[in-house]
Amino acid sequence: MRYVMTWANQGGVPSGVERHCPVLWRELEPRAGQYDWGPVERALGAQDTPCHLQIIISMYGPTGLTDYTPAAHRRSLKLTAANGQTGEIPDYANPGWKTAYQRAVSALAARYRADPRVASYQLALGLNQETQATAITADGTNWHLPARGLLDEEGYYGFIQATTAAAIAAWGDKPVYVP
């Protein structure tokens, strides 16, 4: 299976290629516990084949590494790379943050697990749509080094395990992918 990221949900890949359908968490849940399905509907509407839904938590943006957690749930770790770039990533080990994310995944599944436009859910949280908190970005910024001192490895991998189990339970018959 070939995965293709469709930036800004605009498409840009040949017809018939299965696609990601990313939604920024802060747009999906603008207020704690209140979900706006408009971004998901617009993203799904731009697809011509069933796609893989995902909630984007953190990725590199025009101003550095960005945490897309809704303000009500934000528990960020601030990073400064050796080249001076700044950014933030979620505190994956924070129990309140993890619970809020699991509720968002469950709400998304409750609404879209039976939708034929959705082929699967992809637990892809970070840069390059991988379950990693940081990476070396295209501009050469190394985010691994500043994150290493702040991330709790046990908490991060515990987050992946717990949220994968919760996603599998929430999505039922739909596959849940962990890259």
- For 3-44, write each residue's pLDDT tens digit: 334 434 444 443 444 577 888 899 999 999 999 999 999 989
Q: What is the pLDDT of residue 36?
A: 97
Give whole-number Cα distances, 111 to 14, 25, 60, 115, 157, in Å.
Answer: 28, 15, 28, 8, 27
Instruction: Report the pLDDT value the prediction gives residue 62, as an integer from 0 to 100.
Output: 64
pLDDT score recorded for residue 125: 58
Residues 67-89: tens digit of each pLDDT:
888 999 998 889 898 989 888 88
Instruction: List, in order, residues 6 or more apart from 121 with CB less than 8 Å away.
Output: 52, 53, 54, 105, 108, 109, 167, 171, 174, 175, 176, 177
Q: Looking at the predicted structure, is the pLDDT value of residue 94 above 80?
A: yes
| Phi and psi, residue 56, nearest 5° | -85, 125
pLDDT digits (tens, 9 = 90+) for 110-138: 999 999 999 888 876 554 444 455 567 77
